[in-house]
Chains A and B, each alone.
Chain A
Amino acid sequence: MRQILELLERDAQLSHDTIATMTGLPVAEVSEAIATWEASGAIRRYKAVVDWDTVDEDPTSETVTAFIDVSLAPARGVGFDDVAARIARFPEVRSVYLVSGSHDLRCTVTGRTIRAVSDFVSQKLSTIDRVQSTATHFVLKTYKRDGDAFSQPEPDHRLPVTP
């Protein structure tokens, strides 16, 4: 069953029929399992992995991404959880992790412009209670994200017919 999720995670467009063939499970069982996961929220949603750098668009519609490291003062009883939850609620914030090292949280933030992200950090994020400091790292180029490498796929060097 776990195999079905792993297959969908790689390619959400696989048909239930194909998944059934690949796993050797009956189609009905595959469909039922997927419906159950969709209902329970184990499968949140399906989305495309977009390499925006290759999309030729109006430059004003570009987005910028930044990693923001946040240092926090923990509170008795909740540690960092309450502040992390507050930060996570902002739609600009794409991900929030509690991390080891010199900072406590690592967030990914997207915005229309560098200015928009800077404003978000200085006006929204830094002003949250118990946020002690932030360090902002703007993304200049994406080479790989979530296991997908954004470079040209390696060409097939094989000869067309070999023994």
Chain B
Amino acid sequence: MKPLNEVIAACPPSGIRRFFDIAAEMDDVISLGVGEPDFVTPWRIREAGIYALEHGYTTYTSNAGLPKLRELICADLAARYDAHYDPGTECLITTGVSEGLDLALRVLLNPGDEVIIPEPCYVAYEPCVAFAGGTPVAVPTRWEDGFAVDADVVAAAITPRTKAILIGSPANPTGAVQPRSALEGLVRLAEQHDLYLISDEIYDRLTYTGAHQCLGALPGARERTVVLGGFSKAYAMTGWRVGWICAPAAVAELAVRVHQYTMLCAPHVSQVAAVEAMSGPGDDVDEMVADYDRRRRVFVKGLRETGLDCPEPGGAFYAFPSIRSTGLDSETFAERLLHAEHVAVVPGSVFGPSGEGHVRCSYATALPLLEEALVRIERFVRSL
């Protein structure tokens, strides 16, 4: 047989998979390894989805997505972040940020173009760059700096082939929120070197220590920035697969072109549900965010009491404690913790070399389970 696609074949499977397989075999596992909300989609939104099915919204929508949904998204970005996009030409509904990221990279990259990615970062960033024909260039961030991106480190990685910088804030896996100054540093670099910025803002609503800064709203950023967002995290709608791209019209137009041939449109029922998510009362979202924040405080304090150093996560629903004091590498720590105490966490090394020495713990889990997990982690750490 002739060889399959060499770029894809060369891409290692996600390091998360192995832990999934072990954890799936065990009883009474407390999983802190889940990258999605433990809330079920609020009932009003599910009800809107049921209504959509009952009334036969089972067709395609326009390629770019329901106009009403695009209007709501753009109005929300304007109201919340003073970021202004035209729903007609600068906004596209995608099947989650995952597709949005893929589209953005395919539209921006020519073969061999480099994309600078500060790590630790979401596991899909580097593979998606490679799949789009580009070359991912990971640059480190430091725990000591709260994983803030250092513009000088990024600048040192820029070459004539550099096309874009890809950043996620608030971040999976660190929970770090990039300070405005760090984002401004990236915008300056982008202007100097004529680069694009891809900003994954799926966790924008889940910030606890300050307001979210939309990258597209920073001075000088708009014309070169692709903002990716979605409904999965804030509205607990991961399985509905709805997200969006907001970008300058030239980029959005090409993104629609790829989308119309590869995806055609995001699921109609999910788009109808997303309209309800955005247009109904937002109390349920506020309550979920408040609940994450309370768990975050309890969990981070508890982690510190187990003897692990834990930087304060400002967003998302992850804590990223340092396990260096245990002398174990993150993969060994995660594996031994799972076997000894049946607590699943994800080794930080899965998210890039700078994640080594840390584990990702999701606190999107019921409080009594978090408290039990803390007891088990403490027992494990003390046993070392």
Contact A22 B298 (CB under 8 A): yes
Contact B301 A161 (CB under 8 A): no
CB distance from B47 to the nearest CB of A (A): 14
Contact A161 B38 (CB under 8 A): no
B19 on the interface (CB 8 Å rule)? Answer: yes
Which of chain B's residues have a CB closer than 8 A to the CB of A18?
298
Sampled A-B contacts (5; CB under 8 Å): A21-B297, A158-B31, A159-B24, A161-B16, A163-B123
Contact A160 B34 (CB under 8 A): yes
* Best-surrounded residue of B19, B40, B294 (most CB of chain A within 10 A): B294
Which of chain B's residues have a CB closer than 8 A to the CB of A53?
none
Across chains A and B, which 6 residue pairs bring their CB atoms closest together, nearest first? Answer: A161-B33, A22-B294, A161-B20, A160-B23, A160-B31, A162-B35
Q: Among B14, B24, B123, B297, which residue has its beta carbon within 8 angstroms of that of A160? A: B24
Contact A163 B344 (CB under 8 A): no
Chain B at the A interface: SS class: mixed
B81 on the interface (CB 8 Å rule)? Answer: no
Instruction: For the complex, give the distance between the alpha carbons of A24 and B293 in Å.
Output: 10
Q: Among A21, A22, A161, which residue has its beta carbon within 8 angstroms of that of B346? A: A161
Instruction: For the complex, give the distance between the alpha carbons of A160 and B28 in Å.
Output: 11
Contact B297 A24 (CB under 8 A): yes
A154 on the interface (CB 8 Å rule)? Answer: yes
B340 on the interface (CB 8 Å rule)? Answer: no
Which of chain A's residues have a CB closer than 8 A to the CB of B341?
none
CB distance from A4 to the nearest CB of B (A): 12
Which of chain B's residues have a CB closer than 8 A to the CB of A21?
297-298, 301
Interface bits A141-163 vs B (CB < 8 Å: 1, else 0): 00000000000001010111111
Instruction: For the complex, give the distance between the alpha carbons of A18 and B296 in Å.
Output: 12
Which of chain A's residues have a CB closer than 8 A to the CB of B344?
160-161
Q: Among A7, A22, A154, A163, which residue has its beta carbon within 8 angstroms of that of B14? A: A163
Instruction: For the complex, give the distance between the alpha carbons of A23 and B291 in Å.
Output: 11
Number of interface residues of B (CB under 8 A): 25
CB distance from A42 to the nearest CB of B (A): 21
Instruction: For the complex, give the distance between the alpha carbons of A23 and B122 in Å.
Output: 30
Tell me the residues in window 284-327 of chain B with beta carbons closer than 8 Å to chain A beta carbons.
Answer: 293-294, 297-298, 301
Which of chain A's residues have a CB closer than 8 A to the CB of B298?
18, 21-22
Contact B294 A161 (CB under 8 A): no
Contact A154 B40 (CB under 8 A): yes
Q: Among B20, B35, B123, B297, which residue has its beta carbon within 8 angstroms of that of A22? A: B297
Which of chain B's residues have a CB closer than 8 A to the CB of A163?
14, 16, 35, 122-124, 172
Residue of B nearest to A6 (CB): B290
CB distance from B147 to the nearest CB of A (A): 18
Q: Among A23, A24, A158, A159, which residue has its beta carbon within 8 angstroms of that of B38? A: A158
Contact A161 B40 (CB under 8 A): no
Instruction: For the complex, give the distance between the alpha carbons of A161 and B31 in Å.
Output: 7
* Best-surrounded residue of A18, A23, A159, A160 (most CB of chain B within 10 A): A160
